[in-house]
Structure 1
Amino acid sequence: MTLSVAIVAHNEEANIGRTLASVQWADEIILVDAQSTDQTRDIAAAAGAKVILEPWRGYVAQKNYALELCTQEWILSLDADEVVPPELADEIRRIISSNAQHQGYSMPRKNLFLGRWMQHGGFYPDRKLRLFRRGQGSSTGFDPHDHFELKDHQPEGRLQHALIHHTYPTLTLYIEHMNRYSSLGAAHARSKGQKGSLGNILLRPAATFLYNYFFRSGFLDGREGLLLHLYHAGYVSWKYAKLWEQKCAGKAIGI
């Protein structure tokens, strides 16, 4: 059996070389680049990837477009900051070269924050469906919280070894991403009729922090865990504050 790796990217020169180096054993690497202004495309091409330039469609649509370009029997979808370690690569090769019992497989994911693996607080095992037969899986959900599903809700197999996710190496990068994600989250919340109430702006973030940091043992991940859960609670507050802001702006212009 043969394998395509599908990746979407935008300005990922700091990560893409490491990601591509971990999947050089694949039969095909498809990278859909959303008009990067750095060296992402050059690095990918030098690593043997087939690079397609495509304006950003949104997370769900862009990933599905990448899947459409794949030509091999199996597809492994990766984020541009993820790495497939050797033990996971071996497991994937064994699965697709045998009589696979499922049309798709999920795998755990180790999320690194400021270089530390977040093992608690709901950030592990963070299992993701990423490996599936071509035509059997697709991206769904809403931006930026997309996920993959199998066609006709078929049961998925479970791989044992984990992806490595180099998610946020600096606080600056985390805050920049959460600012953007909270804007997308506010737009989605508004489409669902949710409210930017004081309860959602103040109490929901506090409840999120208490639940993840204490009840889900996020405190066991040291100072990095404390910062992650504090700032994640901040993201929740920003999302609902932006929802309130959007509704106020809409009222001002009569929407």
Structure 2
Amino acid sequence: MKNNRLSVVIITKNEEEDIGPCLESVKWADEIIVIDSFSDDRTVEICRKYGSKVFKTKYEGYAEKKNFAIEEAAGEWILSLDADERISPELIKEIKEVLRGNGNEDGYLIPMKFFFFGRWMRHGGLYPKPHLRLFKKGKGKFEEIAVHEGVKVEGRVGYLRYPMLHYSYKNLDDYLQKFNRYSTLDALDKAGKRRYGRWYPFLRLPSEFILIYFIRQGFRDGFHGLLYSILQAFYVFVKYVKLWERQQDGKQKTEDRGQNNPAF
């Protein structure tokens, strides 16, 4: 029986530190498609070294670029990765079983091993936290939201046993760079959906810490668990402050329009 082909899709921008190990973990795939947002480091050079098909495009949202990658893919199955993710040897074997036709599902949720400052975080709601990353072409599409995009699959969805490895935050500098970008995108995604009072960020700050550190048992990850809980609680605080800023800007613009166009 002929195996189904697998296309791996990745989006990049200045990922020279991560993209090599990522591609090394999927070099067995039939096709690798990279959508690059005009990186000015060695990202594209490294991708081409692995035989990837590279398409350059301006940044227009994560989901839009990933959907473009899916359209360009030739494989019957799609595996979506980020540059800071890896496929474990055990997961490779499991994916190959799917490609052989051993399964009736149209998509698969894959557990994620999340590494924070070099440590695998087992608690705090971070594991297994499955993500839908493997799906049939024509059955799955990324939802158009600003950040934390997800795949919507038409059909049956199953679970794979073995995890992907996600090396998201290597150190504090790496965390803070992503912190500002993601919190802004999160605020943009929530803008216009619901109004939040000025005190809401201050309520969410302690409640988020309690949720991660105590209820989801982040304390079981020791010092890393405490550090992650504090930083993530502050992330949520900043996200809602940014949203409040946008609401205030919109309110001011509305008032300005009313003053400039008085009703007689």
TM over 0.5: yes
Percent identity over the alignment is: 42
Mean Cα deviation higher: 217-226 or 182-191: 182-191
Residue 178 of structure 2: aligned partner: 177
CA contact (8 A) 1:196 1:242 kept: no
Q: After the TM superposition, which residues 139-154 of structure 1 pair with which residues of structure 2 at under 5 Å, given as runs? A: 139-140=142-143, 142-151=145-154, 154=155
Q: TM-score, normalised by structure 2?
A: 0.92
Q: Which amino acid aligns with 2:6?
A: L
Structure 1 residue 210 corresponds to structure 2 residue 213: no
Q: How far, CA to CA, are the matches of 1:120 and 1:71 in structure 2?
A: 38
Secondary structure of 1:191's match?
coil
Q: Which amino acid aligns with 2:221?
A: D
Aligned residues: 252
CA contact (8 A) 1:196 1:243 kept: no
Q: After the TM superposition, which residues 1-255 of structure 1 pair with which residues of structure 2 at under 5 Å, given as runs? A: 1-140=4-143, 142-151=145-154, 154-198=155-199, 200-253=200-253, 254=256
CA contact (8 A) 2:146 2:188 kept: no
Greater C-alpha radius of gyration: 2
Q: How far, CA to CA, are the matches of 2:195 and 2:126 in structure 1?
A: 26
Q: Which amino acid aligns with 2:52?
A: A
Secondary structure of 2:105's match?
coil
Structure 1 gaps of 5+ residues are: none
Query: Displacement, 1:196?
Result: 4.6
Secondary structure of 1:161's match?
coil
Query: Displacement, 1:42?
Result: 0.4
Q: TM-score, normalised by structure 1?
A: 0.95
What is the aligned-residue RMSD (CA, Å)?
1.3
Q: Which amino acid aligns with 1:110?
A: K
